[in-house]
Amino acid sequence: MDYKSYIAEKINIEGFTLDQIKNMLSVPPNREMGDYALPCFAFAKALRKSPAIIAQDLAAVIPSDGVIESVSALSGYLNFKVSRKGVAGGVLSEIYEKGASYGSSDEGAGKVICIDYSSINIAKPFHIGHLLTTVLGGALYRTFNFLGYKAVGINHLGDWGTQFGKLISAYKRWGDKEAIENGRVRELMKIYVKFHEEAEKDPSLEDEARGYFKKIEEGDAECLALFNWFRDLTLIDVEKIYKMLNVKFDSYAGESFYNDKMQPVIDALEEKGLLTESEGAKVVNLEDYNMPPCLILKADGATLYATRDLAAAFYRKNHYDFYKCLYVVAYQQNLHFKQLFKVLELMDAPFAGDMEHVAYGMVSLPGGAMSTRKGNVVFLEDVIATCIEKSLALIEEKNAALENKEEVARMVGTAAVIFGALSASKIKDIVFDINKVTNFDGETGPYVQYTAARCNSVLDKAGAYEPTFTAEVTDAEYEVCDVLSKFPEIVRSSAEKREPFFITRYAVDLAQAYNKFYFECKILDAEPAVRAFRLTLTQATKTVLTTALGLLGIEVPAKM
C-alpha cells in the first residue's frame, strides 16, 4: 500500500492539493512519535491558526481504522501510527505472490528509452575513469526495463579521429603484429605513447598522422584494414570487462557509423539559416543563449563531435522512435550537451525536449589524474582483478571450507567494484578505495551479498515451512517490513532521478534492518507460528535484496 497517499486522502485543507499534502509527509526521526508525520506550519496562514492547534484539530477528526492505528498531535506535527500487522501482512504476501517481479511495473509499456553509456574509445585503455558511465548506464538500462520500458543500450564508440592516423604511423614504425595480437589494447597504448614522445622531438609526425587519417576517410584499403583491426582488437578486450560487470548493449554504432549521415543535418542547418562562417569554419551562433558558438565544420571541411551527435540524434529518433534519449556522460561535457540540445531546438526537431544529459562525477584511484598520452592509466580490468583477489583472500580467511571459492570471489569482487562506484550520488567525484569497497563489514556490495547469503543459509537450515503473513510484529520485524514496503517507490525514484544510488542505499538499509532482526529475534528456535512468520520475512528479504542487487548488475552467491 502507498501509505502516504492513504493518509493524505484523510486530510482536507483548503488551498492544498492531495499531492502537496502527500509530499509534506515524512518519517519521524524517532519511531516512538509515529510512522509518518505531517508538519502543520504551512497551513497556519491559510487557516489563521497556530500549527499546534491545527494538528490537534486534525487529530480529533481523523479516525483510526484497519490501516491507521492512531493519530496524535505534538508540537505542530500530526503523527500517524499505521497498523504494523497490516503493513507486514500486506508487503509479505505481495512479495510472496510476485517474487522477483516485486517492485516492477508496466508504466513504461510502449515507450523506448535510448541510453548512451560507456562509449569507450577504440585502441585506448578501458580505465577506471570509464567505470561510472558503464555501471551507471547499465543500472539505468536494467531499471527502465524492470519498469516496463524498452531500454536500448547504445555504446557510441569513439572510433573516428586523428588518433587513428597516429596509431597507423606508430604501428608502421614500431609495431609488432604478433605482440599486438596477444597484448591488444595494452600494446596499442605502448606504441601510442611512443608516438607522442617522438612527436615532441619531431613535430612532422603529427602531419604524417593527419595524412594517414585522411587516407582512412578516403577509403584507402590498407589504412582501413588497420583501422578495423584496431577496432576488433579493442572490442575483444572490452567485451571481457562488460561480461564481468554484467553490462550489455543493443548497439555499438560509434562515430564512424554516422559518416554518411551528417550531410543531411548540415543541409538542414543551411536551409534554416543557422550556419554562419567564423574564420573559415561553419558554426551555429548561440550568443543569444549565453553559450559559445557550436562548431559544425572546421575550416578544412572536417566534421566534429557535435556534427556526429546531431546526426546520431536524428538517426536514433527515426530508428527507435524514443520516448527519451539519455546521455550518460561526465559533467565536463555539460556545455557540449547544452549546445547540442539548443541546436536541435533551433532546428525545430520535435524531439529536442526529450534529450537529456545524465551527468556524473569523476572516478579516480588514490594517486591522481591519468593520461593516455603519457601512459599513466589504471586499467579497469586490473582494478576488478585486484578486488577479486582481495575477496578470495577474505573468503579464505573467514570460510576456508566454502565450495566454489573462486566463483564466489568473482561475484564478490565485481560486486565490490559496481556497488562501490554507485554508492554515492552520481554527480559526486569519488576516489575509489579498493580496501574500502571490498570490506564485508562496511556499507558495501559484499556486505549486502553476505546478508542475502545469510538469508539463504537460514532458509536452508529451516527446510520446508508454510508461509505465514500476519503476526504480532516486534519493532525489529516491523523495521524490515517497512523497508521492504518501500522498494517499489525506490525503484521508480531511481529511474525518475536517474540515480542508481537510491538502490544501493536502499540495499544497505534493508541489509542493516534484517541483520538487526537476525540478532534480536530467534528464528529457527521460535515457536511454530512465529517461526513460520520469521522465515517468510527472511525469504522476502532474500528476494528483494537479490532483485535490488540484480538491477545494479550484481549476482548473489548462494553461500559465502
**C-alpha dist (Å) from residue 349 to 294, 317, 340, 353, 387:** 17, 10, 12, 9, 46
Cell numbers for 133, please give them: 558511465
| Backbone phi, psi, residue 423, to 5° | -90, 5
If residue 281 lies in a helix (H) or strand (E), which one and from where to where?
strand 281-284
The pLDDT value given to residue 364: 79
Q: Of 223 and 370, which is predicted with more confidence? A: 223
| Cα first-last separation, the chain | 34
Q: How far apart are CA 207 and CA 216, in angstroms?
A: 15
Q: How far apart are CA 49 and CA 44, in angstroms?
A: 5
Cell numbers for 552, please give them: 545494479
Summarised one tens digit per residue, pLDDT across range 537-558 is 999 999 999 999 999 999 999 9
pLDDT at 148 over 90: yes
What letter represents residue 264's amino acid?
Answer: P
Q: Is 279 exposed, middle or buried (0-12, 13-18, 19+ CB in 10 A)?
A: exposed
Q: How many CB atoms lie within 10 A of CB 557?
A: 20
The pLDDT value given to residue 370: 45
- In a 3-state reduction of DSSP, which class is residue 153? strand
**C-alpha dist (Å) from residue 87 to 31, 37, 63, 478, 479:** 15, 17, 18, 8, 10
Looking at every residue in the chain, the average pLDDT score rounds to 93
Q: How far is CA 445 from the centre of its chain?
A: 14
The pLDDT value given to residue 372: 47
pLDDT-above-70 percentage for the chain: 98
What letter represents residue 382's amino acid?
Answer: D
The reply to whether the predicted model has a pTM over 0.75 is yes
481 and 133 in contact (C-beta within 8 Å)? no
Provide the pLDDT confidence category of residue 134 given band limits of 50, 70 and 90.
very high
Q: How far apart are CA 351 and CA 176, in angstroms?
A: 48
| Backbone phi, psi, residue 74, to 5° | -155, 115
Long-range contacts of 287-296 (CB under 8 A, 24+ apart): 289/342, 291/335, 291/338, 291/339, 291/342, 292/335, 292/339, 294/339, 294/340, 294/342, 294/343, 296/266, 296/269
The pLDDT value given to residue 107: 97
pLDDT at 68 over 80: yes
- Mean pLDDT value of segment 123-152: 94
Summarised one tens digit per residue, pLDDT across range 238-284 is 999 999 999 999 999 999 999 899 999 999 999 999 999 998 999 99
Which of 111-115, 279-283, 352-356, 523-527 is predicted least confidently? Answer: 279-283
The pLDDT value given to residue 367: 64
| Backbone phi, psi, residue 295, to 5° | -80, 125
C-alpha count within 13 angstroms, C-beta hemisphere, residue 272: 16
Cell numbers for 40, please give them: 502543520
- Mean pLDDT value of segment 501-519: 98
pLDDT at 393 over 60: yes
Contacts of 433 (CB under 8 A, 6+ apart): 366, 420
pLDDT at 474 over 60: yes
Q: What share of the chain is helix, strand, coil (3-state, %, to 5)?
A: 55, 10, 30
pLDDT at 298 over 90: no
Q: Which CATH entry fits the domain spanning 3-82: 3.30.1360.70, 3.40.50.800, 3.40.50.1860, 3.30.1330.10?
A: 3.30.1360.70
Q: How far apart are CA 438 and CA 424, in angstroms?
A: 16
pLDDT-above-90 percentage for the chain: 78
The pLDDT value given to residue 214: 87
Provide the pLDDT confidence category of residue 154 given band limits of 50, 70 and 90.
very high
Provide the pLDDT confidence category of residue 368 given band limits of 50, 70 and 90.
low
Q: How far apart are CA 419 and CA 112, in angstroms?
A: 27
The pLDDT value given to residue 492: 97
Provide the pLDDT confidence category of residue 121 given band limits of 50, 70 and 90.
confident
Q: Quick one: DSSP state of residue 159?
A: -
Contacts of 222 (CB under 8 A, 6+ apart): 215
The pLDDT value given to residue 9: 94
What letter represents residue 159's amino acid?
Answer: D
Q: How many CB atoms lie within 10 A of CB 113?
A: 24
Contacts of 296 (CB under 8 A, 6+ apart): 266, 269, 275, 281, 282, 283, 284, 303, 304, 306, 307, 310
Q: How far apart are CA 64 and CA 492, in angstroms?
A: 30
**Residue limits of CATH 3.30.1360.70 in the chain:** 3-82
114 and 107 in contact (C-beta within 8 Å)? no
Provide the pLDDT confidence category of residue 376 given band limits of 50, 70 and 90.
low
pLDDT at 371 over 80: no
| Backbone phi, psi, residue 400, to 5° | -65, -25
